[in-house]
Structure 1
Amino acid sequence: MDEKTQVATALQTALPDMSIEDIKNKLERPKTNKNGDYAFPTFFLAKELHKAPQMIAGELIEKIDQTGFEKVVAAGPYINFFLDKANVGAGILKEILADPEHYGNLDLGHQANVTIDMSSPNIAKPMSMGHLRSTVIGNAIANIMKKVNYNPIKIDHLGDWGTQFGKLMAAYEMWGDEEAVKADPINTLQKYYVKINTEADEHPEYAEAGREWFRKLEDGDEEAVRLWKWFRAESLKRFMKVYDMLDVQFDSYNGEAFYNDKMDEILQLLNDKHLLQKSRGAGIVDLSKYDLNPAMVQKSDGSTLYMTRDLATALFRKRMYGFEQSLYVVGAEQSYYFQQLKATLATMGFTWSKQIHHIPFGLMTLNGKKMSTRKGNVVQLEEVLDESIKLARQQIAEKNPDLANADQVAQEVGVGAIVFHDLKNERTNSINFKLEDAVKFEGETGPYVQYAHARAESLLRKAGNPDLAGADLKLNDEESWNIIKLLGQYQETIKRAAVKYDPSLIGKYALSLAKAFNQYYAHTRILVDDDQKLARLALVQAVSDVLKSALALLGVKAPDEM
């Protein structure tokens, strides 16, 4: 039984009409240890019992089963519970050491499928810093969902179709150099794309040429298809290099092109249900009952749109995976669009539209400036990762010049710094990215948390990695308890992160645990030989294990030495 359940069970002896879950939902955590470990407010009972909250607290405490607590006291309108620190702490440490890999696991999902639409870069364009957020937030959510026993299915819905490919083919026809593309595909194609967009105002015929090439592609023209396949294959190679650096894998790379032959069914279904209305020649679906603008699913010339494709995508994924949840990790600026998508599916009679969730995130700026592929002011993610690894390597050389596997650690620290810098922030907040801030070994950074883990491992090596099985794990001091309380909150933090789709809760938890451990390390003689040495080392081992687990949920490695 976890501590929160223990407190709720004790309270239920005095409040038999309340369920354990209702009581747990009312419990609060006091800001300081002097007010106990859990507090139960009685304000909500005042109206029902016609008594002052202070009086209710005083009466309830007489009925509470206080077995297993250090003490339970009434403090004004609150009932404060002080846990039996030594026994509770020993139980938490024992649980972690027995199975560190599965500590914090929950069964919220019962192995149900969750599709996660994430990353989704556009073919023939470099992966920019703008793609970082969707990629790492989606990956962390997948890890968290797996930890609570869902089966995450990560989908890289590649932007591999659309009029921009027509523009690119037109540009290649005018200025293309096959050898230059083969030597550096993404950057060369990017130059062509920027050039045709930059000069389109002076040369309106460029836009027409782009439309013509896209028509050829849609009609299956041999040369257009050849170029498209070539651009796609070369782009995927480059994307895979970045994904390998981030240690992100996908279960599907089906992009927009995959759904070309699946949109007719959507239009047919809309027609059959008499939902497809005409407005100025275009096909729309009325969403007024949802207080939304109509969803346009067909242009006046009969061609389809993103909405048509996304309706087909949602239906295919439901049939293919039978998902219980379908998550779209896409920027906050698309929130209204996803409301329309869900409403259109609901209008079509698909009740599972309620299982679709847009996971929005804020804009990332670089040194205060917005990035744009079309205008050419884009910062490539691969370059930022390389630079971060280089900065990490420099700091490692200064702090630990004799580190055996310095290059591998620099890779793990440099990449981890970029990932953690994003994920420690609430995803809906905008981020202004500064590389130097992310790679610092001090402050609220990934390297700071990694260093706390490495410090714990170093202590265990100095102690000779003792066998802790069967040791007396009871600790009574305040700083030990501060850490143990945090360790005991890991599962609850994971649960909230899963329910809210918010990896920042894990990031903030890891920072809190690292700070508490560093404080403990500074004030406690951990390796001194006394009767609590093994208990202190068990605490160090538990911190190391949980920090490693939390970082792994975020997609960040935890080196044993730095």
Structure 2
Amino acid sequence: MNLTNRIANVISNAVENEWTTEQVELLLEKPKQTELGDIAFPCFTLAKKLRKAPQQIALELSTKLEDQLIASVQVAGGYVNIFLNQAFITNQVLHSIMTDLQKYGSKNSMHEKIVIDFSSPNIAKPFSMGHLRSTVIGNSLANIAEKNGYEAIRINHLGDWGTQFGKLIVAYKLWGNKEKILAAPIEELLKIYVHFHNLAEKDDSLNDQARAAFKSLEEGDEEALTLWNWFKEASLKEFQIIYELLGVHFDSYAGEAFYNDKMTRVVDDLKKKGLLIESNGAFVVELEDMPPSLITKKDGATLYATRDLAAAIYRHQTFHACKTFYVVGNEQTLHFKQLFSVLEKMGFEWSKNLVHVPFGMMLKDGKKMSTRKGKVILLADVITDAIKTAQHNIEEKNPTLENKEEVAKQVGVGAVIFNDLKNDRMNDIEFSLEQMLNFEGETGPYVQYTNARICSLLQKGSFEAEAFTFSSIGVEAWPIIQLLEDFPRVVEKAFDNADPSQIAKFSLLLARQFNKYYARTKILADDGTTSSKLAFAFSVSVVLKESLRLLGVPAPVKM
């Protein structure tokens, strides 16, 4: 129960449960001026219910609000302005953080699983900036889910099947060079893939060849399978380098191909339930308020929908998860609406627990990046540039820093991840290397540096958490205490809204507020308050580090 909720509960009891705690909490306001209190309760809506003037209700209510959390109460018109007991709450918050450390803000295990399907790059194509969003949003959501008491099952549903492999097989046979591909697999495969598309725009027979090649792959043609396996293994090696840099791991790499032998059962089940309808030689499931879901093409080949149906059923039978997140761009919204609707028609009650977590696109010059047109920015190149920028900054500002290379990697990678996650999930992001590598202002390195500054302060003050005793840290710390107290609610809200940006924005606000406090307050002062102030700074560091961890951003102790 957070502070606002606890105050709402006190008010609810004072009005003799005329309103529930939840109803009261929705009405609570934060006054614009600190002299008007910490929390304000407007009595205007309650006036209709009690048939009394708002000011009279406020006066009567002010005499009943007695609690350890409340220092004093004032009435202004129809408002009850509540001044919180800062010393009592500060003591509670700091003790909670220092007792639990990384567990602060965590919920007890609910022994329930949540499946998170994210990243899902296409085999034999480069890991571009376009793949970054799903990867970092999904990874952060898995961390946040675990913080909220779930066991997160991380699944990388690789794009390792489909007509594009027919195109790639044809392209390799026509223009491929084995030695060049062995030396730089993704780069060379991208070249011949783009070349195929350029020519296929003028020569449609190439597309016919690609469809035939994919059909051969589906039927188990040995040569086609050998090439496909080679493309897949080469891609995974390069992908793994990116995942290790980003600190991302998966419990399963079962991609589309994994479900090849599971789709016949799905199609048969749809037939048995009378849901499969022939349409111009293809088979579809008719849906209300949306286009039909295409299950098999005229030539009998399967589609994304068929594989996603098989995947959803397999995952339910395997993991028995209470919820599944599909972290996939918002351009796939219709696909997931169709998928969930088909599963519901099939009689699967658990389909209501499947959630599409959409997000905006990474744009270049206002347009979507396109692999087939060769208009991609490689994520590996961006990360390399970010690390080089961090190295340059370290050489300029702190050339004697220990482990410079490791810190530069943590700062550079952190800048790339944070730059994505600080944005509202649904917003498109215009790619800007300059903005991404700007380490000043609203950035990951700013939060990292704030934490590193606190770590240095704690070292200078020889702080030991076990020896903590609380006295006074000054009224300047109060806005920060309120933020620290609110952290568990932020974590819960980030999960409920599937939105890591709420934690990123929180960490920026906390870092900014602490730096203001640090600029105005002498922490290592010889006045008997040093121990308490260091404990306060330590608590801020705990929450900053945990915020960064939930986002998948490293927290170096020195910068």
Q: CA deviation at 1:465?
A: 2.5
Aligned to 1:555: 552
Question: Which residue number in structure 1 is paired with residue 303 of structure 2?
Answer: 305
* Partner residue of 2:406 out of 405, 408, 415: 408
Counterpart for residue 534 of structure 2: 537
Q: What SS class does the counterpart of residue 41 from structure 2 fall into?
A: strand
Partner residue, 1:284? 284
Residues 183-215 of structure 1 show CA distances to partners (whole Å, capped at 9, x for unaligned) of 111101111101111111333332222122212
Q: Sort the Cα spacing of 1:201 and 1:476 in 2 relative to 1 into closer, same or farther, 3 A.
A: closer
Amino acid at match of 2:210: G
Amino acid at match of 1:461: Q
CA distance in 2, matches of 1:554, 1:186: 28
Separation (CA, whole Å) in 2 of partners of 1:32 and 1:271 = 66
Please give the alpha-carbon distance, in whole angstroms, between the structure 2 residues aligned to 1:208 and 1:279: 22
- The alpha-carbon deviation at position 117 of structure 1 amounts to 0.8
The AA in structure 2 aligned to 1:154 is R
Q: Deviations over 1:451-503 (max 9, x none)?
A: 100111111111123456341243342x2111111111100100100100010
What whole-Å deviation, never above 9, does each CA across 1:319-374 have from its counterpart, x for those lacking one?
Answer: 11111111100111111221111111111111111101100100111354431100
Three-state SS of the structure 2 residue aligned to 1:323 is: coil
Q: State the 1:19 CA deviation.
A: 3.3
- Residue of structure 2 equivalent to 1:221: 221
How far is 1:23 from its partner?
Answer: 3.0
The CA deviation at 1:31 is: 3.7
TM-score (norm 1): 0.96
Letter matched to residue 274 of structure 1: G
Distance 1:414 1:295, change over 3 A: same
Q: Is the 8 A contact 1:389 1:415 kept in 2?
A: yes
The amino acid that maps onto 2:503 is: I
Q: State the match for 2:429 in structure 1.
A: 431
Q: Report what 1:141 is aligned to.
A: 141
Query: Alpha carbons of 1:473 and 1:122: their partners in 2 closer, same or farther (altered >3 Å)?
Result: farther
Partner SS, residue 443 of structure 1: coil
Summarize the Cα distance change of 1:84–1:140 in structure 2 as closer, same or farther, 3 Å threshold: same
Aligned to 1:485: 482
Q: Verify: 1:335 aligned to 2:336, yes or no.
A: no
Cα separation, partners in 2 of 1:473 and 1:441, compared to 1, 3 Å: farther
Aligned residue for 1:525, secondary structure, equals coil
2:72 aligns with 71
Check the 8 A contact 2:166/2:210 in 1, yes or no.
yes
Q: Distance in 1 between matches of 2:173 and 2:331?
A: 34
Separation in 2, partners of 1:174, 1:219:
22
Q: Is the 8 A contact 2:2 2:489 kept in 1?
A: no
Q: Match of 2:370?
A: 372
SS at match of 2:29: coil
CA distance in 2, matches of 1:470, 1:548: 20
Matching residue of 2:317: 319
Match of 1:168 in 2: 168
Cα pair 2:463 2:531 within 8 Å, conserved: no
Distance 1:130 1:105 in 2: 32
8 Å CA contact 1:450–1:558 kept in 2: the answer is: yes
Structure 1 residues 116 and 101, CA gap change in structure 2 (3 angstroms): same
Query: Which range is displaced more, 453-462 or 207-216?
Result: 207-216
- Asked whether 1:152 is paired with 2:152, we answer yes
The one-letter amino acid of 2:422's match is K
Whole-Å Cα distance in 2 between the matches of residues 502 and 212 of structure 1?
42
The number of aligned residues is 558
Matched with 2:122 is 122
Aligned to 1:521, which of 512, 518, 536? 518
The aligned runs of 1:336-375 (5 Å cut-off) are 336-366=334-364, 368-375=366-373
Letter in 1 for 2:381: E
2:111 aligned partner: 111
SS at match of 2:298: coil
Shift of 1:278: 2.0
Output the amino acid matched with 1:143.
N
**Distance in structure 2 (CA, Å) of the matches to 1:80 and 1:100:** 33
In the other structure, the counterpart of 2:382 is 384
SS class of match (1:341): helix
Residue in structure 2 matched with residue 182 of structure 1 by the alignment: 182
> Aligned partners of 2:89 and 2:355: how far apart in 1?
38
Q: Secondary structure at the match of 1:13?
A: helix
Contact 2:468 2:532 in 1 (8 A): no
Matches within 5 A, 1:186-265: 186-265=186-265
Per-residue CA shift, 1:152-197, capped at 9, x if unaligned?
1111000000111111111111111111111111101111101111
Please name the residue that 1:508 is paired with.
505
Decide whether the 8 Å contact of 1:456 with 1:541 is kept in 2: yes
Cα deviation code 1:369-400 (max 9, x no counterpart): 43110000111111111111111111111111
Could you tell me whether the CA contact under 8 Å between 2:387 and 2:412 is conserved in 1?
yes
Could you tell me how far apart the structure 1 residues matched to 2:339 and 2:75 are?
A: 52
Deviation (angstroms), 1:297: 1.3
Question: Corresponding residue for 1:268?
Answer: 268
CA distance in 2, matches of 1:531, 1:92: 21
In 1, the alpha carbon distance for the partners of 2:305 and 2:471 equals 59
Deviation at 1:409, TM superposition (A): 0.5
Q: Which is worse superposed, 545-554 or 90-99?
A: 90-99
SS in 2 for 1:104: coil
Gaps of 5+ in 1: none
Amino acid at match of 2:120: S
Residue matched to 1:472? 470
Whichever residue aligns with residue 377 of structure 1, its letter is K
Deviations 1:11-41 (A, max 9, x none): 1332222333443343333344223222223
Structure-2 change in CA distance of 1:467 and 1:196 (3 Å): closer
Q: Aligned equivalents of 1:159 and 1:183: distance in 2?
A: 23
What is the alpha-carbon distance in structure 2 between the residues aligned to residue 344 and residue 75 of structure 1? 57
SS of 1:283 mapped into structure 2:
strand
Deviates more, 1:264-273 or 1:540-549: 264-273
SS of alignment partner, residue 47 of structure 1: helix
The offset of 1:87, in angstroms, is 1.7
Residues 162 and 303 in structure 2, CA contact (< 8 A), matched pair in contact too? no
User: Percent of aligned pairs with the same residue?
Assistant: 48
Q: Distance in 1 between matches of 2:500 and 2:31?
A: 24
Show the counterpart of 1:462.
Answer: 460
Preserved CA contact (<8 Å) 1:159 1:256: yes
1:12: which partner in 2?
A: 12
Secondary structure, counterpart of 1:553 in structure 2: helix
Superimposed CA distance per residue, residues 428-471 of structure 1 (whole angstroms, 9 cap, x where no aligned partner): 01111212222323210000000100111111111123456341
Rounded to whole Å, the distance in 2 between the matches of 1:464 and 1:517 is: 20
> Residues 66 and 72 of structure 1 are in contact (CA less than 8 Å); yes or no, is this contact kept in structure 2?
no
Instruction: Classify 1:356/1:46 alpha carbon distance in 2 versus 1 (closer, same or farther; 3 Å).
Output: same
Over the residues paired in the alignment, what is the CA RMSD in angstroms?
1.6
Per the normalisation by structure 2, the TM-score is: 0.97
Moved more, 71-80 or 330-339: 71-80
Partner amino acid, structure 2, of 1:219: E
CA contact (8 A) 1:90 1:474 kept: no
Q: Distance in 2 between matches of 1:171 and 1:230?
A: 15
Shift of 1:134: 0.1
Cα 1:248–1:467 change in 2 (3 A) is closer
Q: Separation in 2 of the partners of 1:52 and 1:374?
A: 68
**Partner residue in 1 for 2:27:** 26
